[in-house]
Amino acid sequence: MILVLGGTGEARKLAEALVAREVRVVSSLAGRVARPRLPVGEVRVGGFGGVDGLAAWLRENDVRAVVDATHPFAERIGANAAKAAEHTGIPLLRLARPGWEPVKGDVWHWADDLADAARQLPGLGERVFLTSGRQGLPAFAHLDDLWFLIRCVDPPEPPLPRHHELILARGPYETAAERELLERVDILVTKDSGGTLTSAKLTAARELGKPVLLVRRPPRPDTETAETVTEAVEWVLNR
């Protein structure tokens, strides 16, 4: 069995490719999204109970390899997977899409984390398009002098910024629609998620000359890494 730590488009594509090759795959989802897009093959939802719980699950289910295809900002499960793989001796691959790179016309600012982004914002714009995910919204809740257009998949829980409008939506997004939203704000705040699913907002910001405040990816454990699903499939088939 191959365990795919999923929740991303790459994870779904990997599961589909492996199942098509008659590889038994179990995709694990964290359960943070109310109606997730489910991959083909077997699916489990919820945590493992930390490093020890994950290590025990790997042993009990005779897992021969693990692919961590979680979101670039899913720090905890990435760290737990690396430690569990080390404890059990089971091979681990990190499937990580490359981060975004600026091109001509981009006006980008970088933040080390959400708290740093919140510190920088007051000097960059008064009306903010915030797409950093619902769990990161408390970092901006104290900015009472700013107005936020907040987009996330599921309804967020407080605390939230006092002055805001909420949009519930799931990508992929079209550039024209993103341009309409960005015309209402001064700046876009987002995480460096990479990939094409949500990159239209960056294209729209570039076309409008709007600045973007990007949160850098957190560090990940030093593990073997693939950037594409094709590379990950080849790695699994060679285990």
**Does this chain's domain 2-97+219-237 share its CATH topology with 108-215?**
yes
Q: Are 194 and 72 in contact (CB under 8 A)?
A: yes
Token pair listed for 179: 């341009």
CATH label, 108-215, candidates 2.10.109.10, 3.20.20.210, 3.40.50.1220, 3.40.50.2300: 3.40.50.1220
> What is the DSSP-derived secondary structure letter of residue 227?
S
d(CA 173, CA 194): 14
Positions in the chain whose pLDDT score sits under 70: 34
200-208 vs 175-182: helix crossing angle, rounded to 10: 50
- CA distances in angstroms from 201 to 27, 85, 107, 149, 211, listed in the order given: 29, 37, 13, 13, 11
Tens of pLDDT along 76-105? 999 999 999 999 999 999 999 999 999 999
CA-CA-CA-CA torsion sign (16, 6, 198, 218): negative
d(CA 72, CA 192): 8
Tens of pLDDT along 20-46? 999 999 999 987 776 788 899 999 999
* In the block, residue with structure tokens 């001796």: 89
Q: Would you give the end-to-end CA distance of the chain in angstroms?
A: 11
**Residue 218 three-state SS:** coil
d(CA 191, CA 131): 8
Q: Are 216 and 112 in contact (CB under 8 A)?
A: yes
Token pair listed for 228: 């594409």
Confidence (pLDDT) at 31: 74
Residues with Cβ within 8 Å of 184's Cβ and at least 6 positions away in sequence, in order, are 127, 129, 149
d(CA 39, CA 37): 7
Confidence (pLDDT) at 35: 77
d(CA 100, CA 197): 12
Report the CATH architecture of 2-97+219-237: 3-Layer(aba) Sandwich (3.40)
Domain boundaries, the chain: 2-97+219-237, 108-215
Q: Are 10 and 33 in contact (CB under 8 A)?
A: no
